[in-house]
Structure 1
Amino acid sequence: MNGEHKITTSHRRRVALVYLRQSTLMQVREHTESTLRQYALRDTAVALGWSTTDIEVIDTDLGVSGASTRGREGYRHLMTRLCLGEVGAVFGLEISRLGRSNADLARLAELARLTDTLLIDADGVYDLSDFNDRLLLGLKSTMASAELHIMAGRLQAAKRAAAERGELRTPLPVGYIYDDEGAQVIDPDEEVQG
């Protein structure tokens, strides 16, 4: 792994936190490979020298949006443990996307720097006391934030274009469907009607 030399005995003496998150329950249900890859980070921690008894998987935020820290009990638990200096490393698929806010990542990075906690993802090991690691993580966070803004803009533009053509379809309440002509009708399935 890129940057493995940054991991010291001091880091390995403290707990490794594996943080899992997906934005919606639909993602958890339909993107099972992502969930499996996140759980596999536990094996990465073992391969990097942490004892299995010193690895904690935090998966309470699966299906919870990262748009803010509100309602993210797992993230709060992670930050509390970080503040107490109990954490040697935090593992995530993409550290720059632990949250959707640059401010949230900046707070996490600053606490990691102050407590000598490493942040580890598929790209490598980030030691936040190193200027280059802080810079790289900051750039990745900014790019992730811009990517979300651009994607949201594209989705909104596509909805507007469909609405202008009179073709915008919104999800219907249970029991209704669109027929072949695009009209909203009661679902002909007798089980659904029941």
Structure 2
Amino acid sequence: MKTEIQSHHLSRPAYVYLRQSTPGQVLRNEESTERQYALREKALKLGWGEQMIRVLDGDLGLSGAQAENRGDFKTMVADVSLGKVGAIFALEASRLARSSADWHRLIEICALTQTLVVDEDGIYDP
């Protein structure tokens, strides 16, 4: 798993992106929220330093249907576009975007900027 992570990834911050669709889910599914925050530990184990990990949790309780309503998602996409991010961590890669257009756009940008996508199942180099 770690073989795909290279020095140019580790030289840029890892973004841990947290999201649940509704405020009710955040309250009722505490385990999911805890598992998402635990992705920070995964980033540490994979080689990112404490200061190189940014947790984006401002979109908790917001629907993923429309990216324009998700400030942290927009920040993440902008920073990935500028080549500022080494990897995006999410509980499930599918949690990054619900809209197929937003998902494909993000993956294309990750490929162009050599940004990894990491979830519980693996490390992906689009």
Query: In structure 2, how many angstroms separate the alpha carbons of the residues matched to 1:82 and 1:99?
Result: 15
Question: Please, what TM-score do these two structures have when normalized by structure 2?
Answer: 0.98
Q: Superposition RMSD on alpha carbons, in Å?
A: 0.7
State the identity %.
Answer: 50
Equivalent AA in structure 2 for residue 65 of structure 1:
S
Q: How far apart, CA to CA, are the structure 1 residues paired with 2:68 and 2:12?
A: 27
Q: Which residue among 56, 59, 62 is the counterpart of 1:64?
A: 62
Moved over 2 A (4+): none
Secondary structure at 2:57 match in 1: strand
- SS of the residue corresponding to residue 90 of structure 1 reads strand
Question: Which structure has the higher relative contact order (CA within 8 Å, separation 6+)?
Answer: 2
Distance in 2 between residues matched to 1:126 and 1:70, nearest whole Å: 25
SS in 1 for 2:59: strand
Aligned 8 A contact 1:89 1:117 in 2: yes
Alignment partner, residue 13 of structure 2: 15
Pick from 11, 22, 25 the counterpart of residue 23 of structure 2. 25
Which consecutive residues of structure 1, in runs of 5 or more, have no partner in the other structure?
129-194
TM-score by length of 1: 0.64
Tell me which residue corresponds to 1:35.
Answer: 33
Q: Matches of residues 172-191 of structure 1 in structure 2 within 5 Å?
A: none
Q: How many residues align?
A: 126
Contact 1:4-1:124 at 8 Å conserved across structures: no
